[in-house]
Structure 1
Amino acid sequence: MYQFSYSEIRQDSGADARERERQALDRAIELMERAETAGVHSAESVEAIYATRTLWSILVEDLASPDNSLSEELRASLISIGLWVMREAESIRLGKSTSFRGIIDVTTLIREGLE
């Protein structure tokens, strides 16, 4: 995973930040697609769940920040989506769901919105 100093992040343009978010979402999608192929009881599934939940936790925290420049309505919608993704990932972890497909589709739509 990439690590940036606070000063580097502060100096980034909005386009740079969106590109990093897109890359992180790409990675999560890639991991979930591997897990979908390998099955929910695989090591790939564990990795995908962890990465997806971590990513969306970070995104939700950023969206909840008053410093986030997105409109309040859009932020609220994205937070709701993020919470849903995290619940779905937990359902897979607990064996209540057997597919990553819904999370992959939603995350792909969000990623495409960043382009």
Structure 2
Amino acid sequence: MYKFSYAEVLDDASDERRGREVMALEHGIELLQKAKAGDPSAPTTIEAIRFIQQLWGFLIRDLSDDTNGLAEQLRADLISIGLWVIREADRVLSGASTNIAGLIEVNRSIRDGLK
């Protein structure tokens, strides 16, 4: 029988969680890339924007939780980035911006930081 320390179990859970976050960001980036190549009012653009907004909404809720193990300043910085992503995505949906490339770049940077 295997015996693991509590810290090892937590590290494994953290690694799994980070892996899921990377996968979700990769999916969002793929959707945004398809949207960038197409019509800004196409269903693929709306799907990409909605997905990335929901993802960041989830991440912000997690980062706002006091039990989140990240340093407080890092959490605050990531929340600020997430709020920018959500606002910029709203601007794309409303036609006030076409900055899908910026959304892709920011999400890639966050994804790469998680790897």
> By the TM > 0.5 criterion, same fold?
yes
SS for the counterpart of 2:18 is: helix
Post-superposition offset of 1:13:
1.5
- Residue 32 of structure 2 corresponds to 32
Please state whether the residue corresponding to 2:76 is helix, strand or coil.
Answer: helix
Asked if the contact 1:40/1:99 (under 8 Å) is kept, the reply is: no
Larger CA deviation: 94-103 vs 104-113? 94-103
TM-score with structure 1 length normalisation? Answer: 0.89
Percent of counterpart pairs with the same letter? 42
Whole-Å separation in 2 of the counterparts to 1:11 and 1:50:
31
Q: Which runs of 5+ in 1 are unaligned?
A: 1-9
Counterparts of residues 1-115 of structure 1 (less than 5 Å): 13-115=13-115
CA RMSD in angstroms comes to 1.4
**Alpha-carbon separation, structure 2, partners of 1:110 and 1:42:** 26
CA distance in 2, matches of 1:84, 1:11: 30
Q: CA deviation at 1:11?
A: 9.6
Q: CA deviation at 1:98?
A: 1.5
Contact 2:91 2:97 (C-alpha < 8 Å) held by counterparts? yes
Contact 1:62 1:68 in 2 (8 A): yes
Say whether the 8 Å CA contact 2:88–2:99 is kept in structure 1.
no
Relative to the length of structure 2, the TM-score reads 0.89
* 1:25-56 CA distance string (max 9 Å, x none): 00000000000001211111010011000000
Q: 1:95 is aligned with what amino acid?
A: G
2: CA distance, partners of 1:66 / 1:99: 33
- 3-state SS in 2 of match to 1:13: helix
Asked whether the 8 Å contact 1:35–1:48 carries over to 2, the reply is: yes
* 1:31-87 deviation per Cα after TM superposition (whole angstroms, max 9, x unaligned): 000000012111110100110000000000000000100000000000000000000
Q: Gapped runs of 5+ residues in structure 2?
A: 1-9
